[in-house]
């Protein structure tokens, strides 16, 4: 296992990083390393490969990469799954990586082996990689479109601002509007995404701030919610059609993805589970308090509390009252023949003194 290098400074040490990356090509001359369009490509040299490039099934997507982790760590790691044809790491302007990369192997069996070995792989303490099949994503998702914008205007703007548009699907509600734009190729979608991020806000105007991003891999399941389908041609202009609900309902369910959920999906699912458990515990506690109060009231109502059992009728609630004052015991009948004389003791003492 190659050692993991950490770059803790706020800026990448380009000299140290260049020396580390140079060792990759010096030790193995059958690969070249170039950087273009925000990505650094480690690829088989032309003299080391003959024949067509591997198919799309041989490429895997690598996500959740630490931003200070580079090819000197990743390439030796993913070589353990098979022979690499190409490794592309996405780089930003500051020199850090953007958190994801693509690894293309020479066979699809090696790609499957990489998914099995390195999906949820702990590259650092409490830091797991996510590896799944690479998806040739040709769709862009646009949200926060002003709901008052006509659908024909949305289609016309997207065809005017970007190239290789195949179709535009629009979903509307009372207060929101969103669109999924499908392009003819992944490159066309990537170029369109860059153009739309810069021009969408100015194109819609009125203070609009549309959000532009890649469509999720699960978007084929959600396309049935986007009823309006728009296309534009120079001959006919904008053509809008509405997808029938029956066709969407009768379409076969898409195959389940062979990779795990994204982190935000896992966090949302766990949060929903915790909320459900907390609500159930609160409801159980409330029911216990209610049952306890009911049993206490029933036990209190069964007590006489000094009123006497005879004074309580069935269903009558007992009310507390202070106890009545105790009457003095009746005086015994006076018998002058047997009663003691009040001065008997005085008379007796007087006789003894004489």
Taking alpha carbons only, the member of 173, 184, 182 closest to residue 145 is 173
For the chain, percent of residues with pLDDT exceeding 90: 19
The token duo for 162 is 């970007």
Among 157-166, 308-317, 345-354, the minimum mean pLDDT is found in 308-317
Please, are residues 79 and 97 in contact by the beta-carbon 8 Å criterion?
no
The token duo for 46 is 């032309």
Domain boundaries, the chain: 14-133, 139-248
- Mean pLDDT, the chain, rounded, equals 76
For the chain, percent of residues with pLDDT exceeding 70: 66
Q: What is the pLDDT averaged over residues 67-79?
A: 91
The per-residue pLDDT for 262 is: 45
Among 16-30, 250-264, 285-299, the minimum mean pLDDT is found in 250-264
Residue 215 in this model has a pLDDT that exceeds 70 = yes
- Going by pLDDT thresholds of 50, 70 and 90, the confidence category of residue 338 is low
Do the first three CATH levels of 14-133 and 139-248 match, i.e. the same topology? yes
Per the model's pLDDT, the better-predicted residue between 99 and 301 turns out to be: 99
The per-residue pLDDT for 78 is: 95
Radius of gyration of the chain (CA): 43
Per the model's pLDDT, the better-predicted residue between 233 and 260 turns out to be: 233
Please, are residues 129 and 119 in contact by the beta-carbon 8 Å criterion?
yes
Residue 109 in this model has a pLDDT that exceeds 50 = yes
Among 9-18, 161-170, 174-183, 284-293, the minimum mean pLDDT is found in 9-18
DSSP H/E element including 140 = strand 139-143
Which CATH code is given to the segment(s) 14-133?
Answer: 3.30.70.330
CA distances (Å), origin 234, targets 159, 160, 185, 203:
11, 11, 21, 21
Q: What is the pLDDT averaged over residues 70-76?
A: 91
Residues β-bridged to residue 88: 41, 102
Give me the helix-helix angle, 108-118 and 71-78, nearest 10°: 110
Task: Encode pLDDT of 136-180 as tens digits.
Answer: 788 888 888 888 889 999 999 899 888 889 999 999 888 888 999
DSSP H/E element including 63 = strand 59-63
Residue 254 in this model has a pLDDT that exceeds 60 = no
Question: What three-state secondary structure class fits 141?
Answer: strand
- Going by pLDDT thresholds of 50, 70 and 90, the confidence category of residue 328 is low
CA of residue 67 relative to chain centroid, distance:
21
The residues near 333 (Cβ < 8 Å, ≥ 6 apart) are: none
- Going by pLDDT thresholds of 50, 70 and 90, the confidence category of residue 331 is low
Residue 252 in this model has a pLDDT that exceeds 70 = no
Taking alpha carbons only, the member of 137, 144, 318 closest to residue 214 is 137
Per the model's pLDDT, the better-predicted residue between 299 and 9 turns out to be: 299
As a whole number of angstroms, the distance between CA 22 and CA 24 comes to 5
Q: What is the pLDDT averaged over residues 209-235?
A: 78
As a whole number of angstroms, the distance between CA 244 and CA 226 comes to 11
Q: Which CATH superfamily is domain 139-248 in?
A: RRM (RNA recognition motif) domain (3.30.70.330)
């Amino acid at each position: 296992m190659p050692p993991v290098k950490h770059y803790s400074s706020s800026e990448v040490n380009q000299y140290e990083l260049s020396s580390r990356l140079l060792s990759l090509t010096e030790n193995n001359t059958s690969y070249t390393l170039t950087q273009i369009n925000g990505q650094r490509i480690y690829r088989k040299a032309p003299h080391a490969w003959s024949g067509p490039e591997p198919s799309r099934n041989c490429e895997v997507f690598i996500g959740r990469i630490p931003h200070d982790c580079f090819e000197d760590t990743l390439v030796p790691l993913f070589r353990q799954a098979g022979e690499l044809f190409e490794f592309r790491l996405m780089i930003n302007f500051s020199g850090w990586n953007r958190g994801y990369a693509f690894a293309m192997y020479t066979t699809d069996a090696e790609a499957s082996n990489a998914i099995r070995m390195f999906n949820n792989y702990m590259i650092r303490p409490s830091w797991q990689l996510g590896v799944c099949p690479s998806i040739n994503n040709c769709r862009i998702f646009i949200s926060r479109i002003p709901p008052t914008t006509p659908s024909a205007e949305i289609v016309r703007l997207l065809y005017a601002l970007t190239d290789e548009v195949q179709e535009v699907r629009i979903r509307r509600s009372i207060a929101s509007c969103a669109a999924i734009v499908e392009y003819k190729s992944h490159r066309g979608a990537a170029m369109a995404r860059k153009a739309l991020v810069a021009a969408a806000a100015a194109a819609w105007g009125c203070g609009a701030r549309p959000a532009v991003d890649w469509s999720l891999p699960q978007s084929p399941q959600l396309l049935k919610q986007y009823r309006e389908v728009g296309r534009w041609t120079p001959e006919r202009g904008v053509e809008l059609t509405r997808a029938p609900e029956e066709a969407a309902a009768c379409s076969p369910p898409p195959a389940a993805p062979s990779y795990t959920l994204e982190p935000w999906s896992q966090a949302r699912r766990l949060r929903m589970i915790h909320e459900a458990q907390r609500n159930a515990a609160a409801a159980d506690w409330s029911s216990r308090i209610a049952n306890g109060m009911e049993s206490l009231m029933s036990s209190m109502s069964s007590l006489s509390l000094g009123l006497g059992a005879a004074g309580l009728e069935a269903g009558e609630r007992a009310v507390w009252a202070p106890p009545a004052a105790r009457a003095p015991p009746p005086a015994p009948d006076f018998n002058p023949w047997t009663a003691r004389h009040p001065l008997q003791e005085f008379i007796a003492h007087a006789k003894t003194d004489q």
